[in-house]
Amino acid sequence: MSSALLNPALSPCAAPSAVPADRWRLSVAPMMDWTDRHCRYFHRLLTRHALLYTEMVTTGALVHGDVPRHLQFNTEEHPVALQLGGSEPADLAHCARLGAQWGYDEINLNCGCPSERVQRGAFGACLMAEPRLVADCVKAMVDVVDVPVTVKHRIGIDTTESYGFVRDFVGTVAEAGCSTFIVHARNAWLKGLSPKENREVPPLRYALVHQLKREFPHLVIAVNGGITTTAQVTDQLQHLDGVMLGREAYHNPWWLSEWDTAFYQADGNGMTREGVEDQMVAYMEREAAEHGTPWYSIARHMLGLRHGQPGSRKWRQLWSDHRLKGLPAREVLALSRSLTATAA
C-alpha cells in the first residue's frame, strides 16, 4: 500500500462512481480524538469494505483554519466519509465542496452530538429541533457536490420521545435531497448529562429506527448505539440497511477482520495480528520520514489489537510506554515480538 496523502493539487478527484448498494452496511463511527487518518489506516488493514468516518470537522476549522491539516488522508482509506459540524448553509456548502475536492466519498452532517461545546456553536443534536434549517443545510451541500450527503442524528432530544418527532425530522430533511440517515437509537439530553453519559443513560430504542425504515423504505437507514457483537449486527441487518459501530470497534479492532467475510461475502484477507503490527510499523516509519509524525501518536490506535489474547496487557503497556518514545518503532516491534513469544 502507498501511504501517499490525497492532495487536490496533485491528485485531482476522479468523477464519482456509482455508490454500491452495500456502502452503509458496516461503518466505523466518527469519534473525536480517535478516528484520525492514522486510526482509519489501521482499520482499513482489517476490513477492505466497511465505510470509515473522520472525526467531526467544524465548518469554522475549514473556513478559517488549516484545510490540509483537517482534510488530508491516506488514499488507502477509501471508502471514507467526511463528517462536518455546522449550521450555516453557505459555510457547509463551502466545506462540502472542499471535502469532495479532496476526494471524500461522502459528506455527513452531524446532528447527533450533545456536547455543550457543540451546542454553543448551535449545531449537533440541537439541530434536530430545527428540521427546516437542517433541510436548508443539506440542500446547500447537495447542490454543490456529486457525492452522497448524509445525516447522523438521534431519535429525539431531551424528554421528546415520540416517534413523530424523529419521523418528521427525517421526512423534512429527506425532501431536501438526503437519502441516507444514520440514527443513534438514543435520545440526546442537551442538559444534565456528559457526552459519555449521553452514550449510556438514555435508553436504546431500536424499534423506532426499525419503524423509520418501514415508513421510509426508499431511504437508507442505518443504526448506531450499543451494538457490540456480530450476532447483534446480524439481527439489526434483518431490519435495516446498515449498522455503525463505535467504541467496540475501536477497543476491540480485531473484530473488524471478521466483517468482510461475515457481512460482504468476501474472502478473508488472511491477515494475522502480527502481520497487522508489521504493516503498522512500516506505516509509522513512512509517516516519520515524510511528515515527522512520532510513532507513538499512531500506535495509540492499535492498543486493542491483542484484546483478549495471552499477554495482551503487557503488549499494550509496551506500545504505550513513555520511556520507549525515544526508540525507533522497529526496535519497539522487536521488543513486542519477544514479549508475544514469551506469552505464547
Active centre residues (catalytic): 113
| Cell (9 digits) for 323 | 520511556
Nearest of 113, 195, 149, 111 to residue 16 by alpha carbon? 149
**What's CA 194's distance to the chain center, in Å?**
21
CA distances from 184 to 123, 152, 179, 206 (A): 16, 7, 16, 9
Angle between helices 131-142 and 89-102 (to 10 degrees): 40
C-alpha cell at 124: 449537533
- Angle, to 10 degrees, between the axis of helix 329-343 and the axis of helix 312-319? 170
Polymer length of the chain: 344
Write out the three cell numbers for 168: 418528521
**Cis, peptide link before residue 203, omega less than 30° from 0:** no
Q: Would you state the torsion angle of the CA atoms of residues 263, 266, 272, 273, taken in this order, to the nearest 10 degrees?
A: -30
Q: Where are the beta strands (DSSP E) in the chain?
A: 26-28, 51-58, 80-85, 106-111, 149-157, 180-188, 220-224, 242-245
* Alpha helices per DSSP H over 49-162: 59-64, 67-71, 89-102, 116-120, 131-142
Question: DSSP readout, 284-315?
Answer: HHHHHHHH---HHHHHGGGTTTTTTSTTHHHH
